[in-house]
Structure 1
């Protein structure tokens, strides 16, 4: 087994280790716990695609981890690192993630073992469409069966190829658009999907910082304003998270990319750093900031909140002791190894777990799926009604007080909700409610030492009850 395979294998084992740690605190029998842990369906396919003059055999997977709720939900990644172990681990995390944020899906995950940089757009389209037809053939895709989404190496373009292929193979399916999420808005996508995960990270950490009792233990004040934040990874998730923290009054002291880190005690502007990166090809040598050639060194710099938003296992047993952050928000999947987890918990660091914190993407995917099934845009029915009602209220207030509301105030007060307002509001409510559930389990369950275990307990309890009520254990 190659080193990388061994690493991926331990990532799956790490998920199981966290599950077993939490399962002890639940009331379910071994049989039900084994059923929750097991991958229900695993599809491995190899199919031929003509690339230039040659035929290439492409290896691909789709794993449906849990059928306690349908459809299954999870991204499709294009990467040379794709293997069955990794896809199984990520599908399992999706099951628990959906349960934690009360999204009624089972977990799934897919992957195609290719280096997408080596193919033209036309070739990638051929591969994606052929993969979709394999999923259709084996009944591994459909609005009520299994609904993929973008992941590493894929985006809205690939999702539009999938929905088009699925629709052409199922011409009588009225809900065909709901077979995949993360689509372009013109193809039935939802506004707010791009920034959803980063915004969810912001809402989750903001909620964690709102409890005075918890912040006092860390020696911090409540709220986001003035908190020193370091973000690792300026991809879609990291960039949006950094931007929302900046707008909320946090001080962005550090940014980390694969080629190094920059640190500035009185604050960086993420948009100016992005502009510098675009012109110079790196975040290093940003004016007035200290540059570090080693990306891992950036994780160990002083801050209140550290947000790893890039790779798996960046904080491990060898560097966990040196981490100075008081709060770690896991925006990436599995950025802490189980060993690092234990070290940081002993140090009293608040680790907000990935399977809750980065659930913004699947939450907004759920809204997109509902939009596709209802065939109506969010806000279309209520926007004008709300604006007319607000106008009447303002009119009454003006006539009672004999004072006129200014034009600016009128504009703010009379605005009815657009799709993006409703999506952001639904995401905010989900992240706040779910954090409070996890925190309650953490507070009320004796001997639970960390939020990750509490999150797993929440997930296991909900899935276990589903299995009991399905009556599949006579």
Structure 2
């Protein structure tokens, strides 16, 4: 990871914005407003840890108020700082615009190493952070709706929603103050795998376009593509799983302890079991160990999916990357310098602000579920099954043939919540990819796909600002 002192993640995002803004029609003032972080809340609060008091540093940034609520995850990491949180909040604004989710961008972070605290201590820190957000009106179903991110999960979200509800008694939409909750606490089925599944849908759509694949010397389709995934967390594991289940060859996997590579392909489920039993992916039978996580990125493959932290591909290693397609599962895994080096080599980069938007898309579905107070599919599942049954019976009577048990089960199945969530996510990722692709083609592919995605996002946010008429 490049030194934070030398590299500003937020300035990197601004550089990409400036590069794209030249291809839009908006005046300088509107562009400045879109680019600016509207609100930055930096807080320090005391929490008793063991026998002593620790002062915890934390942030919540609201990048854009062109649509409310703001939306973005909360990460727990020692790398959390204002620059990073601002950059991630800005990316959230553009991400939501690209996938047509009506939120402004936000992001939060607590500067701690969660591994160093007990569950009870983490709960105290999380609840105190939530109460600080409530105190300053930085959380609420119509104000700012956080979600999980690096170092957090559904457990932390349930603590936050409980704290919020206890401080806002009687608020009927309290569950909608945060997403990524456990299903029992108002969460939505399909949220856990949403980002990884979105990565799969996005890359699957990219590799289905024959003209682009011919340019890269690849065939269309996921089947048989050699894939390396960096990061075996929530995003990386699920992305790898969906590729593996759909016929791709997983040749490399890496984690913080190092990586493994096998040209013949790795059995993902066996690797996961190996890691559970040994505590590491290293020394997997039949695979070669890689000294570091970043060495794995440089091995031969068709598709590389960095799904861990930002800046892992930078000026120092970009020229050694052998992948023909890079799908950014993580936020900001490539620096602008890496973009230029890889672009010159003809590598196709599918940008993070589109590709990992599966999480925020399904968070949007969860928010809608909480506001409507009804589970997706509850109203129409049985109706669909009854209607499908009537159609099937009519077809059987007309043809004199009977459907097999498997066919009958498949045809009669009415959609449940996970089916509808997957369907909504798939539609979102496909239609958004084509919006970006059309812009890229309109610009005659003279820019990279990230710039085309930024143009799409700026156009949507800019129109919102114009139509709001908020400039006095």
Q: TM-score range by the shorter chain?
A: over 0.9
Identify the residue that residue 430 of structure 2 maps to in structure 1.
432
Deviation at 1:468, TM superposition (A): 0.1
- Specify the SS of the correspondent of 1:6: coil
Deviations along 1:57-86, one digit per CA (max 9) or x if unpaired, are 222111100000000000111122221111
Aligned partners of 2:299, 2:414: CA distance in 1, in Å? 44
1:164 to 139, 157, 162: 162
Aligned partners of 2:111, 2:429: CA distance in 1, in Å? 33
2:461 to 455, 460, 463: 463
Structure 2 CA distance for partners of 1:279 and 1:447, relative to 1, 3 Å: closer
8 A contact 1:448–1:454 mirrored in 2: no
Correspondence 1:51-450 to 2 at 5 A: 51-446=49-444, 448-450=446-448
8 A contact 1:11–1:89 mirrored in 2: yes
Deviations along 1:305-331, one digit per CA (max 9) or x if unpaired, are 111111211111222122111111010
Deviation at 1:303, TM superposition (A): 0.9
Deviation at 1:247, TM superposition (A): 0.9
Deviation at 1:334, TM superposition (A): 1.0
8 A contact 2:225–2:303 mirrored in 1: yes
Instruction: Kindly report the root-mean-square deviation, in angstroms, between the aligned alpha carbons of the 2 structures.
Output: 1.2
Deviations along 1:267-322, one digit per CA (max 9) or x if unpaired, are 11111011112222222221122222232221111111111111211111222122
8 A contact 1:327–1:349 mirrored in 2: yes
Deviation at 1:260, TM superposition (A): 2.2
Aligned partners of 2:403, 2:91: CA distance in 1, in Å? 51
8 A contact 2:8–2:83 mirrored in 1: no
Aligned partners of 1:318, 1:127: CA distance in 2, in Å? 37
Q: How many residues align?
A: 471
8 A contact 2:195–2:235 mirrored in 1: yes
Structure 2 CA distance for partners of 1:290 and 1:55, relative to 1, 3 Å: closer
- Specify the SS of the correspondent of 2:112: coil
8 A contact 2:303–2:325 mirrored in 1: yes
Deviation at 1:5, TM superposition (A): 3.7
- TM-score, length of structure 1 as denominator length: 0.97
Structure 2 CA distance for partners of 1:446 and 1:219, relative to 1, 3 Å: closer
Moved over 6 A (4+): none
- Specify the SS of the correspondent of 1:303: coil
Aligned partners of 2:462, 2:12: CA distance in 1, in Å? 21
Deviation at 1:259, TM superposition (A): 2.4
Aligned partners of 2:375, 2:23: CA distance in 1, in Å? 42
Deviation at 1:446, TM superposition (A): 4.6
Deviations along 1:430-473, one digit per CA (max 9) or x if unpaired, are 00010000000000025742000000000000000000000012
Identify the residue that residue 6 of structure 1 maps to in structure 2.
5
Deviation at 1:4, TM superposition (A): 4.3
Aligned partners of 2:31, 2:360: CA distance in 1, in Å? 24
- TM-score, length of structure 2 as denominator length: 0.98
8 A contact 1:59–1:112 mirrored in 2: yes
Deviation at 1:120, TM superposition (A): 1.7
Aligned partners of 2:256, 2:54: CA distance in 1, in Å? 32
Aligned partners of 1:223, 1:127: CA distance in 2, in Å? 46
Correspondence 1:10-49 to 2 at 5 A: 10-49=8-47
